[in-house]
């Protein structure tokens, strides 16, 4: 496949294809049953789902997202996305979500739509998009479903109702790339939980549901954002876990959390493909035990100083600059596939002890909001960090989902115990309690 700068092209058969955005380039080469590169967003409605109506709604909505109606194909230098002439099919939900899509089969979509009882879920491969894109698609799907069910849901607000093209499909990383800048710090290998993993494809989900107003008030008392507060609690929990396993300070590893930053809040882009980067608040337990207040201060300063345009542009420049490097560009894909897993481990997962991704407070049109009971966000797992946390707020609830590929729930227990001790009531759920044959 020839190199170029356009986001999409049309081949002789009039089938549109898209280059992978900068963040997506690594994912096809690292995918496995252990690293599925998936995330999931779901809405629980107040009525049981009709799968026939959901299928009709999906067929209507996919027309509005042509850059999601694609399959993964191999070029000589890079993977690319090609129009998929098939129609996606809804499927019943399963006990263990977020399984690998096996896109190398060449005919499958890079997302799936699942349902169970009153829940509609979308699971996206990160090759296609990030949380913002996935949420936008789910909003459009549920809006269309409710409309076809005859519900009076009113104006769609910011939910797409027309075919999305142009900026919605762009690779915004390349658009806002600047000429080479100083590189960000390389970081150091962080602490990782060493526990036996479940069999590939299994995932333990621990959900905590807290009153949104109560937890926002607690964060405000500490003079931090909600994300900053939750990141500090998470780091403190991992610090205690490492203290229980490693008593000698010089042998301890840094505790760092990977926190995704929605770049659309920094750069004026409306892309619905990937457009996020990470910052990593970190403590160094070799220096001694950190109080919660000290952790809060580090997290607060990191999130303020590392999420402005100048600071984030260093990571943007490094990532896009590597993609544009002529040496990298001329390396055949077969050799790139050998290099990518090393880069993913060395420059990514090795440097953090976990991930906390906050999708934020989700707003829906008034008529639609009255039909939705709850919204969930869940991250896939990987064999290095084993546990990750995804958060979103809707109406009066904050839903915190931990996904783990081990039965050990030390991190989850320490995290939620801290919230409860602070006076934040938390209702806990685990997917292990679901009966066989049911989601």
Quick one: pLDDT band at residue 322, thresholds 50, 70, 90?
Answer: confident
Would you say residue 1 has pLDDT above 50? no
- What CA–CA distance (Å, rounded) separates 201 from 95? 10
> Where is pLDDT greater, at 106 or 20?
20
The candidate with the shortest Cα–Cα distance to 70, out of 29, 120, 139, 19, is 19
Mean pLDDT of 186-212: 91
pLDDT at 324: 75
Would you say residue 48 has pLDDT above 70? yes
Cα 268 versus chain centre, distance? 21
Would you say residue 111 has pLDDT above 80? yes
> What single-letter DSSP state applies at residue 406?
B
> Where is pLDDT greater, at 327 or 258?
258
Judge whether 171 and 22 are in contact, CB under 8 Å. yes
Quick one: pLDDT band at residue 285, thresholds 50, 70, 90?
Answer: very high
pLDDT at 183: 67
Q: Which of 39-53, 65-79, 91-105 has the lowest mean pLDDT?
A: 91-105
Mean pLDDT of 75-92: 93
Instruction: Tell how strand 111-116 and strand 90-92 pair up.
Output: parallel
Mean pLDDT of 255-265: 96
Quick one: pLDDT band at residue 104, thresholds 50, 70, 90?
Answer: low
The candidate with the shortest Cα–Cα distance to 312, out of 302, 297, 323, is 302
Backbone angles phi and psi of 355, in degrees to 5? -130, 140
Q: pTM for the full model?
A: 0.92
Provide the 3-class DSSP secondary structure of residue 429: strand
Quick one: pLDDT band at residue 105, thresholds 50, 70, 90?
Answer: low
Where in the chain are the domains? 8-175, 204-433
- What CA–CA distance (Å, rounded) separates 357 from 329? 31
Would you say residue 273 has pLDDT above 90? yes
pLDDT at 103: 64
Dump pLDDT digits (tens) for 323-361: 777 777 778 888 888 888 887 777 778 889 999 999 999
Q: Which CATH architecture has domain 8-175?
A: 2-Layer Sandwich (3.30)
pLDDT at 329: 78
In angstroms, the Cα distances linking 420 to 54, 234, 238, 404, 408 are: 38, 14, 17, 21, 20
Mean pLDDT of 284-295: 97
> Where is pLDDT greater, at 25 or 328?
25
**Do the domains 204-433 and 8-175 match in fold?**
yes
What are 356's strand-pairing partners?
A: 389
Judge whether 384 and 256 are in contact, CB under 8 Å. no
Mean pLDDT of 401-419: 96
Full 3-state SS string of 276-340:
EEEECCEECHHHCCCCHHHHHHHHHHHHHHCCCHHHHHHHHHHHHHHHHCHHHHHCCHHHHHHHH
Calculate the average pLDDT of the chain. Answer: 90
Quick one: pLDDT band at residue 177, thresholds 50, 70, 90?
Answer: confident
Judge whether 391 and 356 are in contact, CB under 8 Å. yes
Would you say residue 385 has pLDDT above 70? yes
204-433: CATH superfamily? Nonribosomal peptide synthetase, condensation domain (3.30.559.30)
> What single-letter DSSP state applies at residue 20?
P
């Amino acid at each position: 496949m020839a190199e170029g700068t356009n986001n999409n092209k049309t081949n002789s058969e009039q089938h549109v294809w898209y280059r992978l955005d900068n963040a997506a380039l690594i994912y096809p080469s690292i995918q496995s049953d252990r690293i599925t590169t998936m995330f999931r967003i779901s809405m629980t409605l107040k009525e049981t789902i009709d799968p026939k109506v959901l299928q009709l709604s999906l067929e209507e909505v996919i027309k509005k997202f042509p850059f999601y109606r694609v399959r993964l194909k191999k070029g000589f230098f890079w993977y690319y996305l090609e129009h998929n002439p098939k129609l996606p099919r809804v499927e019943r939900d399963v006990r263990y979500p977020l399984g690998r899509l096996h896109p190398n089969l060449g005919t499958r979509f890079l997302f799936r739509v699942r349902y169970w009882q009153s829940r509609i879920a979308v699971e996206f491969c990160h090759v296609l998009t990030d949380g913002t894109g996935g949420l936008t698609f789910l909003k459009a799907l549920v809006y269309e479903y409710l409309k076809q069910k005859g519900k009076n849901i009113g104006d769609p607000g910011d939910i797409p109702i027309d075919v999305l093209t142009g900026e919605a499909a762009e690779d915004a990383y390349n658009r806002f790339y600047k000429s080479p800048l100083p590189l960000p710090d390389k970081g150091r290998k962080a602490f990782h939980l060493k526990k036996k993993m479940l069999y590939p494809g299994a995932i333990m989900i621990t959900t905590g549901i807290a009153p949104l107003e109560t937890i926002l008030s607690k964060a405000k008392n500490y003079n931090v954002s909600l994300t900053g507060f939750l990141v500090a609690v998470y780091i403190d929990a991992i610090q205690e876990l490492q203290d229980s396993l490693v008593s000698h300070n010089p042998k301890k590893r840094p505790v760092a959390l990977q926190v995704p930053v929605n770049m659309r809040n920094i750069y004026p882009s409306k892309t619905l493909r990937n457009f996020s980067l990470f910052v990593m608040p970190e403590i160094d337990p070799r220096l001694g035990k950190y109080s919660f207040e000290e952790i809060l201060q580090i997290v607060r300063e990191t999130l303020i100083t590392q999420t402005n345009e100048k600071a984030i542009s260093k990571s943007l420049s490094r990532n896009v600059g590597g993609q544009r490097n002529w040496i990298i560009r001329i390396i055949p894909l077969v050799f790139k596939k050998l290099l990518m897993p090393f880069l993913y481990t060395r420059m990514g997962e090795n440097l953090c002890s976990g991930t906390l991704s906050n999708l934020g407070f989700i707003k829906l049109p008034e008529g639609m909001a009255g039909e939705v009971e709850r919204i969930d966000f869940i991250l896939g797992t990987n064999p290095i960090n084993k546990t990750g946390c995804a958060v979103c707020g809707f109406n009066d609830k904050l839903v915190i989902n931990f996904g783990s590929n081990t039965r050990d729930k030390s991190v989850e227990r320490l995290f939620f115990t801290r919230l409860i001790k602070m006076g934040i009531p938390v209702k806990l759920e685990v997917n292990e309690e679901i009966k066989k044959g049911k989601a």
